[in-house]
Structure 1
């Protein structure tokens, strides 16, 4: 049976994937978008009901479109509705649900494996983000804890924790947001590995450029990308000021040494009883399906071209990564979509040149 060979396949239909598809279509590149979710919306559809558009840090408009309004709408409804409308208006070739298991090389052709289904393509754009790869550090005794342990990905909203003593673990924006919502309605504790970096001025373009440059530097060296909160700093929004007045951010502890059935034991030997531990410990890139292509450097990350500012995998120019490293934000994802589409175009031109020769 003859199998159609695509010019490109985009894996993932979140912000980065849709932006890439838009630009691929404008360039006339025949492609498909494979999305693991049953409905449009990327990771946004899985966020907690209490998260409104007023709470999110910002959703950039997709190319040729406008972003959802900053209002009291639930983010897990407003953004997916916006994405669904975008797919329809621009007639993007999205197929779902398709969970990609692996991407392999078969004589110079890339093969996408998804259960019993396969697609063959000349290039791949990986836009799988991080939501499916929550990072949960291991601490001695955590399996003995009799209370609840939830990661950001499982966060059910603040009302679930009313009346419970909650330990929030993590030094990023999610931890700050959780404390802001929980401290006014229940007792909270906060633990981080490092001293949080606070910012009390406006987030300037220069600060944003510095944050992106930090990630670019790591990706250029083939290192795994990390959070850039240390550069951008943490800032309290108006909805978090009540928690600040209650001292939720002032009484931060360094990490505990072990977890016990009903609480945590600190390094000084003291004990703190808690009913729930909320791990706001971040995510890792969802790239395991690319492992057969051996894209990782000896340093553990995937090195990208243009000193980390591009989207092309240095070890295999047929592969583009968007929503990875410097483009792991809605604004960055949009820019990366255009860059990736151009990268696909270059890779296809090189392939065509070799065929002609």
Structure 2
């Protein structure tokens, strides 16, 4: 098929997974276009709360080909956004934005990507849409008269100063948000079980090594050596440790009804689901129904460490290699 809107590969999503995949495809000479629904580079990192940082130092937070610039300590979101912006520019990755993909159809070997009134076509589609746009909130009976939030929309501490806040969730985001809010608010931290703290000396560097060991073992057909959750659920960042050790951060057993929550604000730190809207109808579970559709990122749902900046590289390379081989090119 010819035409300016047809490409050998179209990547949906311009965050870390999309950029890593584009890097390998472009190096192999594959005609590639990235469609991103954000107004600027940075992917989901543009939307995280102000105090959120990586769990790893900069040297353990690299996309393929180019290391993240140095940072003293754990880099904040703005450092990551700057890096992703510069990465996109450095490798001249062709990104059209903002383009919101509404639907992807497949017919006789060609994918039709519909975005508003425009249609793109491609032989291969890479879904790299991440999870940030698909926050999950569980159902509980009862009603809550205060303001509902999710970690995806949490704006930082200021709106909560001097208020009563309920934080729900016993993993990293719940612990981090509850810990920082103890400085300005009366916080009740609800968890389904007692917090499972990782050892204090475990951070993203340790988790990266474990994820690489898992991915390599699984790739060799060996038994899975075990997920990070075997170590615990919460990385003990400095502010979390301080609030925990001073007794300000204490878990409360999970409520059974919203009627039990006595607070001005309720913040759900209950995770995300893969944001697969445009391609979901083309999947059986997490398996594509047709050749030429590839999923990159999405955490353990796609592979150990696949949702991390450094961990996504091997999965991006694998998808790019499959695409390049099918069009007679080679990923090195």
TM-score relative to the length of structure 2? 0.84
CA 1:210–1:107: 2 relative to 1, 3 Å:
closer
TM-score relative to the length of structure 1? 0.78
* Preserved CA contact (<8 Å) 2:195 2:251: no
Q: How does 1:231-242 map to 2 (within 5 A)?
A: 231-233=230-232, 234-242=234-242
CA-atom RMSD, angstroms? 2.7
| Residue 181 of structure 2: aligned partner | 182
* Preserved CA contact (<8 Å) 2:137 2:268: yes
Secondary structure of 1:344's counterpart equals helix
**Aligned-partner Cα distance in 2 for 1:108–1:210:** 34
**Aligned-partner Cα distance in 2 for 1:136–1:123:** 33
Secondary structure of 2:11's counterpart equals strand
Q: How does 1:304-315 map to 2 (within 5 A)?
A: 313=288, 315=289
Once the two structures are superposed, residues 8-52 of structure 1 have per-residue CA deviations (whole angstroms, 9 ceiling, x without a partner) of 00111111110111100111100100000011110111122333x
Number of aligned residue pairs: give it: 307
* Preserved CA contact (<8 Å) 1:50 1:74: no
Once the two structures are superposed, residues 107-160 of structure 1 have per-residue CA deviations (whole angstroms, 9 ceiling, x without a partner) of 221111111111111001111000000001111123xx2212110011010232
Once the two structures are superposed, residues 193-248 of structure 1 have per-residue CA deviations (whole angstroms, 9 ceiling, x without a partner) of 233322225444697249956xx79xxxxxxxxxx663342232222233113424
Higher relative contact order (CA 8 A, sep 6+): 2
**Aligned-partner Cα distance in 2 for 1:175–1:26:** 40
Q: Confirm whether residue 151 of structure 1 aligns to residue 150 of structure 2.
A: yes
| Residue 195 of structure 1: aligned partner | 194
**Aligned-partner Cα distance in 2 for 1:12–1:257:** 37
| Residue 161 of structure 2: aligned partner | 162
* Preserved CA contact (<8 Å) 1:179 1:248: no
* Preserved CA contact (<8 Å) 1:317 1:347: no
CA 1:153–1:209: 2 relative to 1, 3 Å:
closer
| Residue 318 of structure 2: aligned partner | 339
Q: Confirm whether residue 116 of structure 1 aligns to residue 105 of structure 2.
A: no
Structure 2: runs of 5 or more not aligned: 220-226
| Residue 8 of structure 2: aligned partner | 7
**Aligned-partner Cα distance in 2 for 1:212–1:154:** 32
Secondary structure of 2:126's counterpart equals strand
**Aligned-partner Cα distance in 1 for 2:22–2:235:** 34
CA 1:211–1:134: 2 relative to 1, 3 Å:
farther
| Residue 307 of structure 2: aligned partner | 328
CA 1:252–1:328: 2 relative to 1, 3 Å:
same
* Preserved CA contact (<8 Å) 2:62 2:68: yes
**Aligned-partner Cα distance in 2 for 1:134–1:212:** 27
Secondary structure of 1:154's counterpart equals coil
**Aligned-partner Cα distance in 2 for 1:127–1:86:** 17
Q: Going by fraction, where is helix more abundant, 1 or 2?
A: 1
**Aligned-partner Cα distance in 2 for 1:173–1:252:** 13
